[in-house]
Structure 1
């Protein structure tokens, strides 16, 4: 091999590796190397191309900002018209559109549902696998040539992935900017004495029309593909297959697309994407519905300015700017430390927002949010508010980064991070804050279902040092509680808090509720005492195999893991609790207080269980069951009441106003039961899958 051959081979290796790393970082959000390692690879490639000009290539990663500024934008005709989308703002109008469309097709159509990204539409053309041109929508017939700026977008491949690429591929999609990148850009703007940008769409629209690609490269624009123009060589016959195909070619497809079998399901599924919007890192201003099959799209045709086979269901975005006054942390029942943002109260969409969860320490770092920051809070479609971004350019003084506590704020124990996880926990099982949360859960309906034991009573009992464990609840007397004083809000105009006695009636009601919970059984106890990973379903599975405490304590980790549906993590958590000083004390104390720690035989029998081995998900509003009641029935009859839909789900029980879970069931082909169908199944013992 000659020197030139050796260099050419190295150049090819570097380009392939850098393209792979770009795809992992910008498309998959899974960086594989450090920034320093990446920069070294890129610098080596630049050096080799400089020393060997004959090896230069227009699709090299070094050419992301390789173009000189253009003198002006040139207008170019679209090979296939790039049309706009009709909008609707109400469910009624959306239904009318579905009815018209399916009537034109002579029957139901398969639909796809996806986010309407709030960015700028663009068309990108590849010829023989290499980027050839990129245009704005323009008037639909002619657009501005923005190739020089699109080439700077790192999740847009300059060369398609793979050897078998289409001869011509023209994809349509949305150029956008994340909220985090806008915050960083606005900071640079104000530091340079320039005005900050108002929102991500405005800065995106201005950036893709810049004459100098070097400026565009600094703004970290992104791209999602959601449509197709001229194409020669793709095999997809519907939208879902198209997105999968272009994704394999290295082009990022629009995320979280849902396929629905007809318009009725599409109408029910609007909430599916709405629920996930608070966690998106980019802005959306609606939901787009498209006919999935390309042959049906051809049959429907187009109007003068828009296709008949798609529509955008848009909603207003409500946002406001406020001050993040403080960040405080709360301790949960399993010791998880959750940071909470306390905001200067601000009105958004007819509600007053004064605080929001920051989820975990990683979220604080991602937002780079600090006490005293000006933040943008948004409610899109009147759903849960979220902190969109920090207005970093509004920091008029140095604000110290928020330091996540190293010790528990309640008990002072050193905090620990989950192995491979994002949660930071207090490992002290006797932490007072954990005790409070655990007792609240213990008394709740999913727990031991103790009537009357709410937050007020828990706070009173702990505050007066009357209760310091689960078993202490069962040693209480009505007289002991009746004489305690607690703060109550006085009726009347002033509504002041006054110190009043609990009283005999309240005390007797609580004692009755506690007494009724004594015989709930071992499964209920295990799922109520906050053992990590052990909820009602897991407790039922374990106690079917080990219906009393003695054999359960004798079981090894391997014995527990061998139980159907119990994996290594759950088995280890259960075993460690049973053999810890704390776990031993909790269960021995409950036994000494007279709590039944055995499981009734009827609960462990496997005969005549119509749902044995089946996984069910319940969604929507039910007429005949409360949510906790139907879940308890499912588990009593041998089934698993899961909280999310997956390929392993056997049935989804859908009530009125079912949302995202129903949509996902339809997408995955999971059998959907009405409430009456579920009742018939459990009444007649049928567990057929059809």
Structure 2
């Protein structure tokens, strides 16, 4: 019994860590299959040893944990999770258990795709959307109403004027939008999202609604809570669909488990072609009148179950492991594979993350490995297949030196990744120059990675500063292959033009760790110039909305290096703009030059909207006049609203305002 207790306690601890990473940090440490295996083992052990079941066990908890970013909201009806099925036998057992509960066995089922996103509850009063709440722990969730309102597929008003109307669904990102966002994040030097589910969860918890609006979240609704008004789940879906809610067209009523299983397989066959990720199908008893009779456990309803599809996994041979270095010096290990067809594409390479990952998985060159591509952009090696040849393969040994410059690699105390800390590492320099000239940094058009490598290899440039001295190297450049006068002339014009960029672009181009393009803009909006930022302390930086201690410490660490300050001073001498102007980069903004009056109670402080308007080139006035372009009105708008109506001023609410900005 002592040994079993230790195993249970260990499993509980591991699952709690995994749930924290998944639900709170939006950073899963393992795939769903591995997590399900741990949870199912814990369930099995607790069932065999009921005396060891405790209230703090993950099996006794409904859902995830609560983030402290948003206000908590207690659900009127708990948002329960679902029990899982993995094969037809599980479905038959599910059906058998239902038949034991109901007086009449004649009932139908409803099958629909299980969207891989974030569960949300939408509450309407008198036909108006009043609240959007995440599932949280099932009892209370996070109030993300302001972000929910930016999702175009969610109606702000409906024709059902009930005092209380609640519908639930799954917020998700399309595959196309997911890839667009990750490409943008990669270009900006930001960490890419692991999969669309994490991208959707991270987006919905953003404190900046503009970011949420720009990412084009979508939703499918799957459950109407006022079920006493209908006899079946399918009828209720038809009704909410008629109100303007988005309901998945792959949902189908089935008369028995054989039909259920057939439709589950049909959805699985369509899975790759869908423009959104699914990880299974949900099966529900279709007849509402049976729900209370069938009943609930403390964790899930007995009238519904989630059929989980396994991630597509293929075996192939790992031919080679090699390391690469990025602009920050971080070492990434990669695998060259025998080509294998996976999730609709031919895969020849996969990420191995870091050395610790390779050691934990006991990966060797020449081994047969299992590879998956479940929503990730880059395929991942899951595990080794330990066949007859495996014991004879050599143990893999991590590199100790940078693959580009040969410098000894370092591991920081709070990380597992290796880093090249050599400031003169050629590959780091080339990648940092590529970042500096990128679109969201200095935007030097035409300066491709191939041109950068050519200039660097021929010793025409050795750092970013040298880009601004190319005028003096015309003769040497024109002697290079495919470097004509017109190309060089355009490059020189783009370089000269970049000197007038706003300072937030320059700050982003410096490549300070954790400082992406949006953070750079936030910093410069507050400090107004690079000089002021360089004089700031950590506490002053942390005070900025959406800038946390991790970012602040990274900036302080960067400032403390004398060579970095010398670099900034060199750019100053070259005439690069070091100041931030709210209006300089917003000629194309839809509100540039427009005047606004703000009135009423909004979801955020007035200064938040003032900053948003002014940072996009608009201006905020205190009183209404004929020349006012917009009245941004919240609740209890008062006399300014009346005056605006009399003067035919354009009156907009927060949602319309954000939609206008999104057109930028």
TM-score w.r.t. the length of structure 2 is 0.52
**Is this contact kept in 2: 1:523–1:543, CA < 8 A?**
yes
Post-superposition CA distance 1:131-175 (Å, at most 9, x none): xxxxxxxxxxxxxxxxxxx89945767424339999xxxx98447
Return the offset for 1:682.
7.7
Post-superposition CA distance 1:203-250 (Å, at most 9, x none): xx9xx9xxxxxxxxxxxxxxxx99985799xxxxxx989x999999xx
The residue that corresponds to 1:540 in the other structure is: 521
Within-5 A mapping of 1:453-464: 453-464=447-458
CA 1:336–1:396: 2 relative to 1, 3 Å: closer
CA distance in 1, matches of 2:398, 2:547: 34
Return the offset for 1:544.
2.8
Return the offset for 1:580.
0.6
**Is this contact kept in 1: 2:329–2:420, CA < 8 A?**
yes
**Is this contact kept in 1: 2:323–2:333, CA < 8 A?**
yes
CA 1:466–1:273: 2 relative to 1, 3 Å: closer
Return the offset for 1:679.
4.5
The residue that corresponds to 2:211 in the other structure is: none
The residue that corresponds to 1:62 in the other structure is: none
**Is this contact kept in 1: 2:502–2:584, CA < 8 A?**
no
Specify the SS of the correspondent of 2:566: helix
1:468 aligns with one of 439, 462, 466: 462
The residue that corresponds to 2:54 in the other structure is: 161
The residue that corresponds to 2:660 in the other structure is: 680
The answer to whether residue 323 in structure 2 is matched with residue 343 in structure 1 is no
CA distance in 1, matches of 2:361, 2:231: 45
CA 1:386–1:603: 2 relative to 1, 3 Å: same
CA distance in 1, matches of 2:34, 2:547: 44
The answer to whether residue 369 in structure 2 is matched with residue 375 in structure 1 is yes
The answer to whether residue 425 in structure 2 is matched with residue 431 in structure 1 is yes
The answer to whether residue 474 in structure 2 is matched with residue 479 in structure 1 is yes
**Is this contact kept in 2: 1:349–1:382, CA < 8 A?**
no
Specify the SS of the correspondent of 1:475: helix
Taking only aligned residues, the RMSD between alpha carbons, in angstroms, comes to 5.7
**Is this contact kept in 2: 1:289–1:310, CA < 8 A?**
no
CA 1:379–1:589: 2 relative to 1, 3 Å: same
CA 1:541–1:613: 2 relative to 1, 3 Å: farther
Specify the SS of the correspondent of 1:474: helix
Return the offset for 1:516.
1.2
CA distance in 1, matches of 2:11, 2:372: 31
2:317 aligns with one of 292, 310, 323: 323
The residue that corresponds to 1:333 in the other structure is: 327
Return the offset for 1:560.
2.5
CA 1:527–1:336: 2 relative to 1, 3 Å: same
CA 1:569–1:463: 2 relative to 1, 3 Å: same
Return the offset for 1:450.
0.5
The residue that corresponds to 2:268 in the other structure is: 314
**Is this contact kept in 1: 2:325–2:427, CA < 8 A?**
yes
Return the offset for 1:587.
0.7
The residue that corresponds to 2:255 in the other structure is: 303
Within-5 A mapping of 1:559-638: 559-600=540-581, 602=583, 636=616
Specify the SS of the correspondent of 1:393: coil
CA 1:681–1:528: 2 relative to 1, 3 Å: closer
Post-superposition CA distance 1:505-526 (Å, at most 9, x none): 1111111111111111322111
Return the offset for 1:473.
0.2
CA distance in 2, matches of 1:226, 1:546: 63
Specify the SS of the correspondent of 1:405: coil
Within-5 A mapping of 1:382-421: 385-421=379-415
CA 1:596–1:161: 2 relative to 1, 3 Å: same
CA distance in 2, matches of 1:599, 1:245: 40
The residue that corresponds to 2:276 in the other structure is: none
Which structure has the larger Rg over C-alpha atoms?
1
CA distance in 1, matches of 2:536, 2:377: 47
5+ long unaligned stretches in structure 1: 1-10, 32-114, 125-149, 177-200, 209-224, 233-238, 249-259, 281-287, 486-499, 615-631, 639-671, 685-690
**Is this contact kept in 2: 1:323–1:374, CA < 8 A?**
yes
CA distance in 1, matches of 2:9, 2:95: 22
2:10 aligns with one of 2, 18, 21: 21
CA 1:16–1:370: 2 relative to 1, 3 Å: closer
Q: Aligned pair count?
A: 429
The residue that corresponds to 1:550 in the other structure is: 531
Return the offset for 1:392.
1.6
5+ long unaligned stretches in structure 2: 21-30, 61-80, 103-113, 121-133, 140-153, 155-165, 180-192, 199-219, 234-252, 272-310, 587-591, 606-611, 619-652
CA 1:307–1:246: 2 relative to 1, 3 Å: farther
Moved more, 549-558 or 471-480: 549-558
Post-superposition CA distance 1:381-409 (Å, at most 9, x none): 99754334321225344323332222322
CA distance in 2, matches of 1:310, 1:273: 30
